[in-house]
Amino acid sequence: QVDTFMFEGHDTTASGLTFCFMLLAHHKDAQDKIVDELKEVLGDFKRPITIEDLPKMKYLERCVKESLRLYPPVHFISRSLHEDVILSDYLVPAGTFCHIHIYDLHRQPDLFPNPNKFDPDRFLPENSVGRHPYAYIPFTAGPRNCIGQ
């Protein structure tokens, strides 16, 4: 348990931030929009960012979500089925280990058009309508999701 809290929670956050910074380094337009948003929220930059400021930084949030979509810190998970499941007319029996490759899930063109492109606006509310709730799971989902999120 200590290993989980000390390392896994830290590693996912660190790798998520690293990929976000890498993508922003390659997309000057996104950097500029974030700076503009910071100017709007903070004004003259003479004060530190507060927790109350974070919900106002919508574009920054979309950039983080998009970087986590492209480079999820948890890229692969396995789960054991507790009951039989019918999947496309196939019976998958209880006890079967199912593997979900999150990296590939996040790059499915039917879920995310032009999936290899860095596009923070795909997370605008109007662009997320109808998207399956489990189409985007950078830290997995459910009761065993990642503590690093």
Which residues participate in the annotated binding site?
Answer: 146
Q: Which two tokens stand for residue 31?
A: 């950097």
Closest CA to 138 of 92, 105, 94: 105
Question: Residues forming the annotated binding site for heme?
Answer: 146
Helical H runs in the chain?
2-3, 9-26, 28-42, 58-70, 102-105, 125-128
Provide the total of helices (H) and of strands (E) in the chain, helices listed first. Answer: 6, 4
